[in-house]
Amino acid sequence: MQHKFRLSVLTLALGLEPMFALADTNADILREIEALKAKVQQLEAQVKSQQVQIEETQKATAEAGQTADRADVQISGVKQTMEMSGFKGLTITGMIAPAYVYNQAQQSGSFVFLNRSNGSAGDSSIYNYDNSYFGSAYISFAKETEDGTKWTLMLAPDRGSGALTNGSSIVHEASVSIPLEGDKNTRLIAGQIPDWEGYESTWGNQMKPITHNLLFDFAELTSYTGVGIDMVRGKWEVKAMLANMNSPRYYYDGNGGRAPAAVFRADYAIPGYDNAGVGFWGMVGKLPNTNVNPADGTTALYRTGTSSAAMFEVDGFVTKGDWGYYGQVGYGQQTGAAYNGDTAKWWGLSGMMTYNFSPRFLGFARADYLNNKKNGGGLPGGYMNVSSAGQSFNGVNGFGPGYVRDPLTGEWVTTDGNSGANRYALSLGMNYLYNQSTTLKLEYRYDRASRATFLNTSDGSYRKYNNLLAASVVVSF
């Protein structure tokens, strides 16, 4: 009986084992199903989140499109307003360049900015090498129309070409350039146009030194008023004008005014360098002549105020890497423009070398020579024997026949009026680019003459040399 009971229990256990195994399997399946459900719920949540993001993106895109449409409308309105107001194609640039200058012979150390000659507000403006275009400010408006016509107006109070040739005019340039038959490389030019000579520009933001070289200051012209042509052919540009030189109109008190001159310039861009070019310039015709009769010192030497002149000049420049080289040579003569009333003749040369010690720091050295001894000296426009605020033009700039002390009277008197002084100048200096629009400049300049022509204001004597120190801050846009 016991054996039967044991057998039954064993049999029962063997029969239930598959059932227990099946139960474990079902539990695993249920757990997997639950995990799968959780995964599905997670995916559904992600899908919903992505759907929300898509809807938000679509909404933002639609709003951005509407905003862009509104911006396009506004921009179109602004463009239309600008076009109707004449601002399309308009460029505005400007510069301000206060300076400080110490002139040893003149015993002066002063800030220089928008002043008339020698600081006399009521006196005439005389161009001296220590009072030229530095200490200036200008604003320029340039516009190009759709047909390629260019219009330029540059205003420069007390320092532009207008201040030197047209009383107290603030107009430095007022010009137009019109394409001929739609060809933008062949243009008609007209108006008041600054001089084309030399390697140095007029303004401080376009040149390295503060002062200008001797040829720029004394052997070049100022501006032309007339009409001409400007042609570009490959690497050549040729310009020519029939114009008044250094005068907007010739009057001369009813004594005649027909005094035009022909002036031209040709430039060639030299390939193979960072930047290089050579230029040729010439002028033949009449120039204003301020000379007076040497016999009485007051009567105008020429009834019409002009006399015949011829001038020629060659200049060039090369920049490669950190080095820059610039130079020019010029020759000129003018009838009746010399100290003794005869023909004035001059020739000279100037050269400058620059080196960039760093992208911000540049050094330069410039040397000039101007031969002006013929007939006592004389330059374009006549021998400048005028004065301003008690200062003689030639006594400041070192031209003329020179002076010696009379042993009997002790007075300084002129030497041989048939031989004038030759002039030399050496400038050393640096530029520091403070930021993209601001340059700090410093220059030392030594000037010398072959005769005692520099007036020493401390004792009224004359000597052969002078020292000048200048500093400037040039800000442009």
**Average pLDDT of 39-48?**
78
Q: What residues does each domain of the chain span? A: 1-88, 89-476
Q: Are 99 and 110 in contact (CB under 8 A)?
A: no
What is the model's pLDDT at position 432? 98
Structure tokens, 99: 């300076």
Residue 107: what residue type?
Q
Q: What percent of the chain has pLDDT over 90?
A: 58
- In the three-class reduction of DSSP (H, G, I as helix; E, B as strand; rest coil), residue 431 is classed as strand
Q: Residue 230: which pLDDT band, with cuts at 50, 70 and 90?
A: very high
Structure tokens, 114: 């928008």
**Highest-pLDDT range among 8-22, 241-255, 302-316:** 302-316
pLDDT in tens, 105-144: 999 999 999 986 555 555 555 788 998 999 999 999 999 9
> CA 2 from chain center: how many Å?
125
Place of tokens 């059932």: 19
**Average pLDDT of 245-255?**
78
User: Which range (10-14, 168-172, 212-216, 324-328) has the least confidence?
Assistant: 10-14
What is the model's pLDDT at position 388? 43
Beta 423-435 vs 275-288: how paired, if at all? unpaired
The predicted model scores a pTM of: 0.81
Q: CB-based contacts of 182: which residues, under 8 Å, 6+ apart?
A: 147, 148
Structure tokens, 280: 């040729």
| Residue 138, beta-bridge partner list | 95
- In the three-class reduction of DSSP (H, G, I as helix; E, B as strand; rest coil), residue 360 is classed as coil
CA distance 249 to 166: 9
Structure tokens, 364: 């330069």
**Average pLDDT of 302-313?**
91
Q: CB-based contacts of 311: which residues, under 8 Å, 6+ apart?
A: 219, 221, 281, 282, 283, 330, 331, 332, 333, 380
What is the model's pLDDT at position 5? 46
Q: What percent of the chain has pLDDT over 70?
A: 84
> CA 153 from chain center: how many Å?
15
Least Cα distance to 334 among 281, 291, 279, 280 occurs for: 291
**Average pLDDT of 238-251?**
91
Q: Are 284 and 310 in contact (CB under 8 A)?
A: yes
The DSSP result for 98-125, as a single string, is -EEEEETTTTEEEEESS--GGG-TTS--
CATH class given for the domain over 89-476: mainly beta
* Residue 394 confidence (pLDDT) above 60: yes
* Residue 37 confidence (pLDDT) above 90: no
What is the model's pLDDT at position 74? 65
User: Which range (122-136, 376-390, 461-475) has the least confidence?
Assistant: 376-390
Structure tokens, 338: 């010399």
Q: Residue 398: which pLDDT band, with cuts at 50, 70 and 90?
A: very high
CA distance 161 to 39: 86
What is the model's pLDDT at position 166? 87
Q: How many CA atoms lie within 13 A of 37 on its CB side?
A: 6
What is the model's pLDDT at position 136? 95
- What's the start-to-end Cα distance of the chain, in Å? 121
What is the model's pLDDT at position 8? 54
CA distance 444 to 60: 64
Could you say which DSSP state residue 206 is in? Answer: G
What is the model's pLDDT at position 391? 47
Place of tokens 């207008």: 162
Helix, strand, coil fractions of the chain, as percent rounded to 5: 20, 45, 35
Q: Are 244 and 225 in contact (CB under 8 A)?
A: yes
Structure tokens, 41: 């719920």
User: Which range (33-37, 198-202, 467-471) has the least confidence?
Assistant: 33-37
Q: Which helix (H) or strand (E) holds 449?
A: strand 438-449
Could you say which DSSP state residue 436 is in? Answer: T
Q: Residue 466: which pLDDT band, with cuts at 50, 70 and 90?
A: very high
| Residue 439, beta-bridge partner list | 433, 474
Q: Residue 389: which pLDDT band, with cuts at 50, 70 and 90?
A: very low
What is the model's pLDDT at position 234? 95
- In the three-class reduction of DSSP (H, G, I as helix; E, B as strand; rest coil), residue 214 is classed as helix
CA distance 352 to 333: 25
User: Which range (29-43, 202-216, 315-329, 426-440) has the least confidence?
Assistant: 29-43
**Average pLDDT of 75-85?**
61
**Average pLDDT of 372-378?**
92
**Average pLDDT of 152-176?**
92
What is the model's pLDDT at position 269? 96
